[in-house]
Structure 1
Amino acid sequence: MPGLVHVVDDDPSFRTAIERRLKLAGYDVATYASAQDLLDAAPGDDQPGCILLDVRIPGLSGPELQSRLVASGSTLPIIFLTGHADTATTVRTIKAGAEDFLTKPVSSELLLDAIERALVRQEAVRSQRGRLEVFRAHLARLTPREWQVFDLIVRGKINKQIAYDLGTTERTVKAHRHQVMEKMEVHSLAELVSIAERLGMLDTKGG
């Protein structure tokens, strides 16, 4: 799975060596001498890619750059590389979502393994995000009344209760329910609840 690897390291010889290794493995490579250079380039995450990031770089450190990228909503996975591994930094960066933490000098096998895992995870995040966008588009097709019915169904109300809550008949609720299932493109209540959960609809009213 080729992709674009962003290498951030202040050591020019290391950047050159890593770039050569990654290009041999079929990856596109962009190199940066500092965290600020990467931020200035503002790499998008619209194509497969990841960041190889040195922990100790002049100016903005690796973990600080990670915080900035997370805050900006970037989904580019980060693999940390360091010549001086310390447990506290490792734990902190992994907790903040880093893909891996490798110690220099790193073998090509370890490095390429970590990059491949990072790209697979990024693809999973992207496809999940894509599916949420599809769900939101389906949701936007519901009429206000269908939306109310959807909301009550996923909170566990039966047709009779929904009819009472909305001041309508069970028959009308059944018709709305059918429309909701069709527009949301689902075949079961379980699927509907799962979508509502993923869209964060079930957190809003405390259950």
Structure 2
Amino acid sequence: MRKLDARHAVLLDRAAQAARRRARLPVARLLLAPVSVMPPEDPPPTWPMLLLADQRLPGERMQRVEASPAPRHPLYWVAWRGGEWRPTYVLRKDQRGRWTWFLTEEFHRALLEEALYYANRGDWPRLVGHMRALGHLPMFSGVWSQVQEIRRRVQAVWGDRYLRDPSGQWRTPPWRAAVAEWPRRPLSPIGMRLYSEEPRTLGEWWEMHRRSS
């Protein structure tokens, strides 16, 4: 980490980063990958890291991350699912132009179809388990929006078919308790924060460590 900071100034605070931008110098950040994407050949305490910059960094092999709907060079994080390591998160810009992580189109579609399948069949135990599992995804703002879409689609199925019982009384969806366990708000646009006391970037971790020592 110190080598990367000496080479690319990855631990600067926001004011210093803004000064570098005004000077038209590269601004680099070092991010931590989610625990769920840690490859098996690098067990803890190895930390998967991601080096991002707004310009090409000297001495680094870099790829340009594209934000178009069908980029030639998307940036993926993988996760263990279906018995293998597969691309699961893709870095894109949201509607406000901020970089964030989304579920890949294939994975998002699979999660949505599974939820709708259980909802249409009225298989509430499996739907509850599925919705509860969605709440454990790393809630980047892009992932958050996709998970909320799944919730709305499931809610529409429930409202169309199961809103009232035969006696005419309103019924509470059996999956509502699972949704209530979801995080209240998404993570910062590109940061990673599993718990409020953990840092999102190595710069934040370094500052916390400096203050504590």
Q: TM-score, normalised by structure 1?
A: 0.28
Bigger Rg, structure 1 or 2: 1
Higher RCO by CA contacts (8 Å cutoff, separation 6 or greater): 2
Q: TM-score, normalised by structure 2?
A: 0.27
